[in-house]
Amino acid sequence: MAENLFTQLTVLPPPRGARVRKGRVYRTDAHGDLLLDVYLPADGKGPWPAVLLVNGDAEEPVIARAKDWGVYRSYGEHLAARGLVGVPFNHRSTRTVGRAEVAAEVTATLDHIRANAIDLQIDAARIGVWAFSAAGAFALAPLLRSRRTYVNAIAGFYTVWDLAAFQKLDPRLTDADIQEWSATVALGTRIAGLPPILVAIAGRDSPPFITGAEVFASRARELGVDVRVERHATGQHGFDTRDDDERSRELIRGALDFFVGALALRR
């Protein structure tokens, strides 16, 4: 399976032609350097809006080079072809360092690309975040809580939106964990500062992923958040690489359209 992660592209064939800056160090810790890649549009000088691609969680050896997986290389190319900058990056496993440390790595990535926006040809005021699988907890929950003004769009594919839905599956989850790491809780009671949100649900996913996404979307609607929910009725967890059908391709195109629209430059 590890080899497939590096070769399996999105079922919507990615274009080619992005200018790729690979292996940029965004943080160094006791374990070594953490790296990101930058996929720039083929033509022009920018600045362009950027989308941070946040992979999920697994054991450290599995995710150590996640930015090089076929799915994130694909999305880098897809985004660049649409006039956005795609930024996949490597982060540690929560099973090794805990959610707080991985959340700090997400923040460090955002801080790095914004601090180096001129060099990277990125518009530091227009950033989107696209989270996958477990990244909803350590990436989206903190961002929804902090409401950074430069985060103008959030999307999640088959991600963890409501951590409470997983408590029966993982009894180690405490009420304190849920308060801190659930995106539903992070919505709070006010809409101010919340960006448009896209929720993509895989119909054949594990029940906690499905019910959690529905709980999150319901709460977001109650608050008046601009939330859009899309479903792949027969899709698996990871449908964008595992289910080679038209619905998967529609959802990928739709997510790209979502980011283009939400991050559109006004000049």
The per-residue pLDDT for 2 is 44
Distance of alpha carbon 232 from alpha carbon 230, whole angstroms = 7
Tens digit of pLDDT at every position of the chain (267 positions): 444 999 999 999 999 999 999 999 999 988 899 999 999 999 988 999 999 999 999 999 999 999 999 999 999 999 999 999 999 999 999 999 999 999 999 999 999 999 999 999 999 999 999 999 999 999 999 999 999 999 999 999 999 999 999 998 888 999 999 999 999 999 999 999 999 999 999 999 999 999 999 999 999 999 999 999 999 999 999 999 999 999 999 999 999 999 999 999 543
The CATH number of the structural domain formed by 2-262 is 3.40.50.1820
User: 104-107 — which CB contacts under 8 Å span 24+ positions?
Assistant: 105/27, 105/34, 106/52, 106/54, 106/138, 106/139, 106/142, 106/143, 107/142
Distance of alpha carbon 206 from alpha carbon 200, whole angstroms = 14
Residue among 235, 229, 230, 240 nearest 204 (CA): 235
Question: In the structure, how many helices (H) and strands (E) does the chain have?
Answer: 13, 8
Distance of alpha carbon 178 from alpha carbon 165, whole angstroms = 9
As given in the structure block, the two tokens for residue 148 are 């950074």
Tell me which amino acid residue 164 is: A
Distance of alpha carbon 79 from alpha carbon 216, whole angstroms = 26
User: In the chain, what are the domain boundaries?
Assistant: 2-262
Distance of alpha carbon 130 from alpha carbon 256, whole angstroms = 10
Distance of alpha carbon 254 from alpha carbon 153, whole angstroms = 14
CA dihedral (10, 56, 198, 181) in degrees, to 10, reads: 180
Q: Name beta bridge partners: 122.
A: 48
- Cα distances from 179 to residues 6, 174, 186, in angstroms, run 35, 9, 8
The per-residue pLDDT for 265 is 55
Question: Burial code of 157-171, b = ≥16 C-beta within 10 A, e = fewer?
Answer: bbbbbbbbbbeeeee
